Amino acid sequence: MKMLARLAAASALLCAGAAFCLVDINTASKGELEGLTGIGPVMAQRIIEGRPYRSVNDLRRVKGIGGKTLEKFKDEITVGAPGDSAKAPREEAPPREEPEQAKVPVYAAPPFTLVECHACTNRFTVSSELGSGWCPYCDTRWRLKTPQAPAAREAAAAPKPDAAGGAVVDAIPFSEAADYVDQRKSVAGTIVGAHRSARSGNLYLNFHADYSRYLSVKIPAAELSKFRRDAESYYLNKEVVATGEITREGNGNYLRITVTAPADFKVIE
């Protein structure tokens, strides 16, 4: 024990007499390498990654260390046996942060299309092969508008059956109604809101929560008796086709399609 103590004391005196101990570039930690003259964290990491070294001059193969740079700290370093480098502490790179996955539902089959629900305005990704479905946030029905081949266009031109077994004409999406102002058209969409005006008595059925920007169905008060008594609640969350004249009302601020007969207001299933 006395012999070990004497050796430790002698080693300390040698280091003190030389003002510092030489840093072995094959075994030094990153912190020890950063203590060398002119060496920062980046260069220290490069030295570690370049191990092992057989001589001090081998450091010149490290990117950023030339002859002049090496001269600055050459007297502060030494090189142990290359085999000792296996014992050298290596600082592991911080774990790579993976980007957070978007929290939206994704259908399995490609190609994918980003859809914005017209009712709740949430966005989600669907397969264009599906063609239609329901919003995963509010269960509103959606359909994709996709180019049709000639044969498909001919099939689409045929009358479509409605819930009552009758036929309805081909309709445009309610979001395109602004292109047909002052025209009589059939418009398709899902009713997401309803309001009966206390002043006029008219019933307004909205295709979108933002009814100031999107089309609403207007059933005039004088025509309401022709429709179901529970029309204000019955049509909610149902996909419909409304046929009537598209106009702008309220100084042009509101887009309406006026329906005056139940035959012009079909529920689609």
Q: What is the number of other CB atoms lying within 10 angstroms of the CB of residue 87?
A: 9
CATH of domain 13-87: 1.10.150.320
pLDDT tens sequence across 200-248? 999 999 999 988 889 999 999 999 999 999 998 999 999 999 999 999 9
pLDDT band at 106 (very low <50, low <70, confident <90, very high): low
CB 195, CB 204: distance < 8 Å: yes
Strands 23-24 and 77-78: parallel
Count of all residues that appear for the chain in the document: 269
Pairs from 148-153 (Cβ < 8 Å, separation ≥ 24)? none
210: CB partners within 8 A, 6+ apart: 121
Structure tokens at 212: 């100031």
Considering the four listed CATH numbers 2.60.40.730, 2.40.50.140, 2.70.150.10, 3.30.360.10, the one that applies to the domain covering 159-267 is 2.40.50.140
pLDDT of residue 123: 82
Q: Of 257, 258, 242, whose CA–CA distance to 190 is shortest?
A: 242
7: CB partners within 8 A, 6+ apart: none
pLDDT band at 87 (very low <50, low <70, confident <90, very high): very low
pLDDT of residue 161: 52
Where exactly are the structural domains of the chain? 13-87, 100-146, 159-267
Report the predicted TM-score, pTM, of the whole model to 2 decimal places.
0.42
Task: Determine the average pLDDT of the residues in 15-37.
Answer: 78
